[in-house]
Amino acid sequence: MIMIDTGDRIAAKAAQMSRPEFIAAYPITPQTIIVEKTAEMVESGELDAEYVRVESEHSAMVAVVGAASTGIRTFTATSSHGLALMHEVLHWVAGSRLPVVMVNVNRALGPGWNIWADQSDSTSQRDTGWIQLYCSDGQEIFDTVVQAFRLAEMEDVQLPVMVCFDAFVLSHTSMPVELPEQSEIDAFLPRRKPLWKLDPAEPITYAAMIPPAHYAEMRKNLHVGHQNALVRFPEVCREWKARFGTFRGDLVEEVQCDDAEYVIVTMGAFGAEARVAVEQLRKQGVKAGLARVRMLWPFPDEVFRKLAPGRKFVVVDRNVSPGAGGALHAQLKAALYGYANAPVRGFIAGLGGRDVTFTDLCAMVDRTAKGEAADVNWWGIQD
């Protein structure tokens, strides 16, 4: 079955077919359509779930914590300042090892107010303990939401997953998506089997005070779950490909990287422009490739360490850590330190929804090739 719809409605459809039993909802542009659509599905009977409208995004995540702690599958969605308001509870979800799935529609943070695409909202949450996955088109949005539930609920992972895609560029753009049958999704994603749950019939102590003698072990266990996710997610993607035929890469989508001298590294909607840029650069005789990051966190260090020898990286970030630069740029340099002497040049572009085309990406590669690129470069800034 082919569905043609916006990224938000595609995400809602993927959530519905994943059979969550609880959804907490609070609207925020440009995510609102997701919670509106899931509400319609619950009302019509398409989705058998408890749907709770709350007074804030903080409350939405608190409600999800309570529901997930009873052992059921949960879902929510947010964006920008809504994600920022959840910050405290994001730590709680990860520390509690609750396999919650949340869609975050990447939108700029204020002030000044801006509702357009910018990934700084999610990149600023990297240390909360959530796995972060980024999408570049409608099919990937659908596939990744379902895959996220499968990954989150794996016994040696047991972590929350944030599925991210760019505001308006993807959230409000209609794209064709191939939908599997519900029975096929059910076979891929069976009912959640919790390792523990709150149950009055079998009371347990949960999230109690942890003294210094044991706290570090708990945090290490959380870290190990992330390391396991780096192994498990490629397995999930390979199984998805075998069952359903669609594949957008696993940890990183590599395009013409085998003989590439210059590799564009980016994530999200920039991936589509980067593919065109690679084609154009190849026509010009430049050996270019694309490494589009799907899993930003935990960062796939080993993928880039294997890719690095003999290559130069042109990193394009639609986010910024003020005082440092782009998140991808920083992560890649950290991953390669002590392993490979590959030049890494970072470009910050498209903040707040500013348009960035394949010609811009080609120009970034050209500037790098000419030795004119600094460590951190601000692209298209109006002086």
CATH label of the domain that carries residue 239: 3.40.50.970
Residues 264 and 227 in one domain: no
Note whether residue 383 is domain-resident.
Answer: no
Question: Rounded to whole angstroms, what are the CA distances from 347 to 46, 213, 251, 318, 373?
Answer: 44, 44, 22, 9, 9
pLDDT digits (tens, 9 = 90+) for 220-260: 999 999 999 999 999 999 999 999 999 999 999 999 999 99
pLDDT value for 209: 83
Residues 207 and 341 in one domain: no
Unique residue bearing structure tokens 């998805």: 240
Residues 89 and 206 in one domain: yes
pLDDT digits (tens, 9 = 90+) for 106-134: 999 999 999 999 999 999 999 999 999 99
> Residue 101: which domain range?
2-244
pLDDT digits (tens, 9 = 90+) for 314-369: 999 999 999 999 999 999 999 999 998 899 999 999 999 999 999 999 999 999 99
Residues 13 and 69 in one domain: yes
Residues 261 and 139 in one domain: no
Q: Which of 200, 215, 244 is the last residue of a domain?
A: 244
Task: Provide the whole-model pTM.
Answer: 0.96
Unique residue bearing structure tokens 């944030």: 162
pLDDT value for 383: 58
CATH number of the domain that residue 340 is part of: 3.40.50.920
Q: How far apart are CA 269 and CA 267, in angstroms?
A: 7
Between the two ends of the chain, the Cα-to-Cα distance in Å is 50
Residues 169 and 276 in one domain: no
